[in-house]
Amino acid sequence: MTAYEHPEWLALLRSIIEVPEDDTRRLAAADWLREHDQPDHGEFIETQIELTKYRCTKPKYRELYRHDTGDMPVDLVYEGYCGKCHQCNTANELRVRSRDLLTKVALTFLDLSRDFTSLIVGQSIRAGHDEIWCDGGTLRFSRGFLSELEVTSEWFLANAERLVWHSKYTLHRAEDDPSKPGSVPRPCPPTAQPITKVKLTNDPRDIEGWEDEFRPAVRAETGLAVWKCDRFPGIDFDLQTEPHIED
Ligand SMILES: [Zn+2]
Main-chain phi, psi angles of 62, to 5 degrees: -125, 145
The confidence score (pLDDT) of residue 173 equals 47
pLDDT for residue 92 is more than 60: yes
CA of 86 to the centre of ligand 1 (A): 7
CA of 98 to the centre of ligand 1 (A): 18
Provide the angle, in degrees to the nearest 10, between the axes of the packed helices 39-51 and 23-35. Answer: 160
pLDDT for residue 102 is more than 60: yes
The SS3 of residue 218 is strand
The confidence score (pLDDT) of residue 174 equals 42
Distance of CA 106 to the CA centre of its chain: 15
Tens-digit pLDDT profile for residues 35-76: 999 999 999 999 999 999 998 888 888 888 877 766 777 788
How many angstroms separate the Cα of 43 from the Cα of each of 36, 47, 126, 172? 12, 6, 19, 34
CA of 84 to the centre of ligand 1 (A): 5
Tens-digit pLDDT profile for residues 66-86: 777 667 777 888 788 888 899
Q: Which of 204, 212, 207 is nearest to 230 (CA)?
A: 212
CA of 224 to the centre of ligand 1 (A): 28
Tens-digit pLDDT profile for residues 179-231: 555 555 677 888 889 999 999 999 999 999 999 999 999 887 778 899 999 88
**210 half-sphere exposure, CB direction, 13 A CA radius:** 18
CA of 20 to the centre of ligand 1 (A): 27
Question: How far is residue 202's CA from residue 13's CA, in Å, rounded to a whole number?
Answer: 30
Neighbours of 68 (CB within 10 A): 11
Overall average pLDDT of the 106-124 stretch: 79
Sign of CA dihedral 124, 125, 131, 137: positive
Tens-digit pLDDT profile for residues 118-159: 888 777 889 999 999 998 899 999 999 999 999 999 999 988
The confidence score (pLDDT) of residue 122 equals 74
Question: How far is residue 77's CA from residue 117's CA, in Å, rounded to a whole number?
Answer: 33
Give the E-state strand segments of 81-195 in sequence order: 125-127, 131-134, 137-142, 145-151
Question: How far is residue 181's CA from residue 19's CA, in Å, rounded to a whole number?
Answer: 19
Q: Which residues contact 17 (CB under 8 A, 6 or more apart)?
A: 165, 166, 167, 188, 192, 193, 194
Confidence band (pLDDT; 50, 70, 90) for 116? confident
Contact 133, 126 (CB under 8 A): yes
CA of 52 to the centre of ligand 1 (A): 13
The confidence score (pLDDT) of residue 8 equals 95
Confidence band (pLDDT; 50, 70, 90) for 32? very high
Tens-digit pLDDT profile for residues 163-173: 888 765 544 44
Main-chain phi, psi angles of 238, to 5 degrees: -110, 110
Residues comprising the chain, all counted: 247
The confidence score (pLDDT) of residue 113 equals 66
CA of 56 to the centre of ligand 1 (A): 4
How many angstroms separate the Cα of 233 from the Cα of each of 81, 190, 211? 32, 20, 17
**215 half-sphere exposure, CB direction, 13 A CA radius:** 10
- Is the model more confident about 243 or about 115? 243
CA of 66 to the centre of ligand 1 (A): 28
pLDDT for residue 30 is more than 80: yes
